Amino acid sequence: MSIRNSVPQQVEDVLALHRRGFLKSAGLLMASLGSWATEAAAQSATTSQGPGPYPILDFRQVDSWIVIHENNTATFYVGKTDPGQGTGTGFRQLMSDELDIAFDKTTCIMGSTDITVDQIGSGGSTAMERDSWPMRRVAAEARRVLLEMASTRLGVPVDQLTVNNAVITAKSDASKRVSYGELIAGKKFHVTLTGDSIYTVTGKAKTKTVPELKYTGQSLQRDDIPAKVDGTLKWGTGVKLPGMVHARNVKPPYACAKLAAIDESSVKSLPGFIKVINKGNYVAVVCEREEQAIRAARQLKTTWEKPATAPFPTSEKLFDYMRTAPSASPRPSAPAVVGNPDGAFSAAAKTIEAEYEIPFQGHTALGGAHALADPSNGQMTIYSNDMKTYGMRRCVATFLGMPADRVRVVYMAGPQGFGRSAAEDAACEAAWIARDLGRPVRMQWMRDEETAWDTKSPAFFVKMRGALDAAGRLSGYDYLARSCDLNHVGYNEPDTVLIAQLMGARRANPAAGSAAMPSDMYAIPNRKMVGEVVGLPALWETPLRTGNLRDPNGPQATFATESFIDEAAAAAQADPLEFRLNLLQAATGDDSGFRRARSIAVLKAAAKAYGWEPRPSPVRRGTGNILTGRGIAYTFRGLTMVAQIAEVEVNRQTGHVWAKRLVCAHDCGLVVNPDGLRYTVECGALYGLSRALHEEVRFNTEKVTSVDWFSHPTLRHADTPDRIDVVQVNGDPNPNRPDLPPYGAGEAVLKPMLAAIGNAIFDATGVRIRRVPFRPDRVLAALKAAKV
């Protein structure tokens, strides 16, 4: 299989176009994934769909990953998507380094299923940690092969050659030189790699060591930004195809409602009306123009029957329900036990207990789910911002009963969805309707629909108990987490995507969901930890569907554990930083990722950047209505360590909380792009702040009542801290290690933020609030109750 044979003609034309553009202005921004997709889309608008089929590329071929052009430039094809954190630029940095080509002579194409290898797409902060490795190995192999070709061409042994910016020169005779373009242009590598999977695929070449990397480690500007700023980027929401029409869903007005009747005459005479689509409880309306479809969907008269029993409790009663609901974990997980927790509690000088509550929080991307499906030539092309395009392709194919190689997904820019766009609903809907009508169909979810019916991060109830010995040390620890996460919908799957549910699909065994365990390196000698999943009464056709929101349940668990450590520190009248450091230093053993040493390092780095002054909490600071406090929290995700410090102002009169300053010390190993990392960390910290201060899904016993930006609020400009410090602690305690790997950056950052804010509120006011979000009414009520 080769790139050229498997790329449909019009995409190939686009690539040719793009290559010509490249020739003209090499050195400037060429094609980000967005501007490429733009051209692909523009091109598709004027030509019919290519003949297909669209098989998945062979990841064992160098040609599937790298194309070197006559003009000595390179295009990288990777199976990842970059929703906006700059990973595409990072891949170019790493691959340019391994290939030995100037960064500005490269471009990267991502995530379109028929022209890039299947690396799943994005998710789980895996871009650098896991998926950059095969890219690096293939680029290194391409370099090795080019050196061999040059050796033959120049008659000079490989070890007598050097490479600089894609030009190979004989060490002893500079006149003997040949460029990559001259060696390979217009031809293919025809080099087969080894390895059973995309994760292990490799050639014979070794990747470079860290000191040999040149672009990696530099703050190169992101290649997707100019087009996002000057308005030239084409988005998945904007693709236009000849003959396309617009669809809108008509959602059930209640969870688990049953459609009793549709009165089509209520919309038949509307301008542009084409069809009402209905199967089971799935209803949509199609019109010629977008505004017509919106109007028709609103105007369509439908009658629904309510379910016999309430699908869920109200949001106010949720935690009462979660406390007592039976565990739905398929096998009740045995508690993880360390030491002798019962013994520690009976010998304790003091015990403390606390319960924490984290509600459902929505993904609420700035734009709703959307897709354009083109059914021409008996195939299906989906234009989408889905972050896991390959999974979406399989989902659409199975859902429609089409061979997978007749379906492709063209990855386009869109509103960042943080997991929602890996379990998104619009593509199957658009494809279903497109096949029915035989015309390209654009589906777009409206705001109320998206906020109410998108996937949610699971609500958590966590009960904790701690034993303090006479010296104020935490000697015992009990953790029970209950996560409302049964039937977790993590990905696009043909039997759980919402349209399938509404049409009656029921998976025999709902996805088990999960309840996270604590993630810290504290040496607490006696611990008992249990994670249980509970389910709501209704699991299907309900807007309370859980999915992966960034680290899917880390922020919830860490809110509990890092609030609790703070409570223990306060009970021991110890400085919260020192208390944590003592717990970390109470053991000396470490793991291969140096997690203990690096935990200590990020806490110390955060404290230093903040100017932390040792004292126990709380200390009421400030006079009048504004009370000021500071809070610290720490955790890890995988091998990435994070410590956060927040300084807050709490208004006693209104309950309003403002995080005035944030410090985030972060260690994710090798830094590919320092400024890109800084921004990912900064935005992740603010996202955590948004969840700490604002976000909560509200519902009554019939439906979700969070339907817009007031009923599911988000962080705003006015909430922005005056100062955000990001400290990159990256490194590891082994100074001689030349191969420091990169670990996942983004998701870890969110985890400690909720607790850092809660701890700061406690420091400022002496009031411990164990329920997020810290909205003014909740904070004010807590302050009033404590007579602050």
Partner 1 sequence: MSKIDLKVNGRSLSVESEPATPLLYILRNEVGLEGPKFGCGLGQCGACTVLINGAAVRSCITPVSAVKGEITTLEGLAPQGKLHPLQQAWIDEQVPQCGFCQNGQILNAKVLLDKTPHPTNAQIRQAMNDTLCRCMSYYRVQTAIKRASKAMAAGSPVAEEGVVA
Residues that bind partner 1 (CB under 8 A): 83-85, 218-222, 224-226, 228-235, 237-238, 240, 271, 289-291, 294, 364-368, 413-416, 444, 446-447, 675-676, 679, 682-684, 686-687, 689-690, 708-710, 714-722, 724
Contact 117, 56 (CB under 8 A): yes
Nearer to partner 1, 76 or 687 (CB): 687
CB 718 to ligand FES: min, Å: 16
CB 257 to ligand FES: min, Å: 28
CB 707 to ligand FES: min, Å: 14
* CA–CA distance, 762 with 768 (Å, rounded to integer): 5
CB 447 to ligand FES: min, Å: 7
Contact 337, 418 (CB under 8 A): no
By CB under 6 A, the residues from 677 to 696 that bind ligand FES are none
β 361-362/350-358 pair status: unpaired
Check whether the bond before 271 is cis (ω within 30° of 0). Answer: no
Nearer to ligand FES, 398 or 416 (CB): 416
* CA–CA distance, 500 with 281 (Å, rounded to integer): 10
Give the residue closest to ligand FES by C-beta: 366
CB 228 to ligand FES: min, Å: 8
CB-based contacts of 546, cutoff 8 Å, min separation 6: 360, 455, 456, 457, 458, 484, 485, 487, 488, 489, 513
Q: Is 87 in the site for ligand FES (CB under 6 A)?
A: no
CA angle 264, 269, 275 (to 5 degrees): 50
* CA–CA distance, 449 with 746 (Å, rounded to integer): 28
Cα 663 to Cα 156, 196, 510: the distances in Å are 55, 43, 40
The helix/strand/coil state of 243 is coil
238 contact, one of ligand FES, partner 1, none, CB 5-8 Å limit per kind = partner 1
The helix/strand/coil state of 622 is coil
CB 375 to partner 1: min, Å: 20
By CB under 6 A, the residues from 596 to 615 that bind ligand FES are none
CB 32 to ligand FES: min, Å: 15
Check whether the bond before 55 is cis (ω within 30° of 0). Answer: no
CB 219 to partner 1: min, Å: 5
Contact 68, 77 (CB under 8 A): no
Nearer to partner 1, 561 or 673 (CB): 673
Nearer to partner 1, 451 or 730 (CB): 451
469 contact, one of partner 1, ligand FES, none, CB 5-8 Å limit per kind = none
Nearer to partner 1, 67 or 387 (CB): 387
Report CA 594 to chain centroid distance, whole Å. Answer: 25
CB 718 to partner 1: min, Å: 5
By CB under 6 A, the residues from 517 to 556 that bind ligand FES are none
Nearer to partner 1, 34 or 458 (CB): 34
Among 698, 686, 695, residue whose Cα is nearest residue 661:
686
Nearer to partner 1, 513 or 721 (CB): 721
CB-based contacts of 169, cutoff 8 Å, min separation 6: 161, 162, 163, 176, 177
Nearer to ligand FES, 6 or 416 (CB): 416
Contact 606, 663 (CB under 8 A): yes
Report CA 365 to chain centroid distance, whole Å. Answer: 12
The helix/strand/coil state of 264 is helix
367 contact, one of partner 1, ligand FES, none, CB 5-8 Å limit per kind = partner 1
- The first and second tokens of residue 162, run together, are 């050097």
CB atoms closer than 10 angstroms to residue 357: 18
Query: How many binding residues for ligand FES (CB under 6 A)?
Result: 4
* CA–CA distance, 17 with 235 (Å, rounded to integer): 19
Report CA 200 to chain centroid distance, whole Å. Answer: 23
* CA–CA distance, 489 with 511 (Å, rounded to integer): 7
93 contact, one of partner 1, ligand FES, none, CB 5-8 Å limit per kind = none
Nearer to partner 1, 27 or 622 (CB): 27
- The first and second tokens of residue 185, run together, are 């242009």
219 contact, one of partner 1, ligand FES, none, CB 5-8 Å limit per kind = partner 1
Q: Is 786 in the site for ligand FES (CB under 6 A)?
A: no
By CB under 6 A, the residues from 396 to 415 that bind ligand FES are 415
* CA–CA distance, 512 with 172 (Å, rounded to integer): 64
Among 538, 540, 484, residue whose Cα is nearest residue 513:
484
Nearer to ligand FES, 236 or 466 (CB): 236
From start to end of 192-311, where are the E strands?
Answer: 245-249, 258-263, 273-279, 282-287, 301-305
Check whether the bond before 326 is cis (ω within 30° of 0). Answer: no
Nearer to ligand FES, 415 or 758 (CB): 415
By CB under 6 A, the residues from 363 to 382 that bind ligand FES are 366
Nearer to partner 1, 225 or 404 (CB): 225
CB 150 to partner 1: min, Å: 30
By CB under 6 A, the residues from 337 to 366 that bind ligand FES are 366
CB 417 to partner 1: min, Å: 9
Q: Is 416 in the site for ligand FES (CB under 6 A)?
A: yes
Nearer to ligand FES, 34 or 84 (CB): 84
CB 285 to partner 1: min, Å: 16
Contact 287, 443 (CB under 8 A): no
What single string gives the DSSP state of each residue in 133-191? HHHHHHHHHHHHHHHHHHHHHHT--GGGEEEETTEEEESS-TT-EEEHHHHHTTS----
CB 79 to ligand FES: min, Å: 23
CB 770 to partner 1: min, Å: 25
327 contact, one of partner 1, ligand FES, none, CB 5-8 Å limit per kind = none
- The first and second tokens of residue 262, run together, are 């549709």
460 contact, one of partner 1, ligand FES, none, CB 5-8 Å limit per kind = none
371 contact, one of partner 1, ligand FES, none, CB 5-8 Å limit per kind = none
- The first and second tokens of residue 108, run together, are 């990267």
Contact 451, 707 (CB under 8 A): yes
The residue behind tokens 């979660």 is: 322
Nearer to partner 1, 83 or 631 (CB): 83
* CA–CA distance, 542 with 419 (Å, rounded to integer): 18
Nearer to partner 1, 240 or 435 (CB): 240
| Binding residues for ligand FES (CB under 6 A) | 84, 366, 415-416
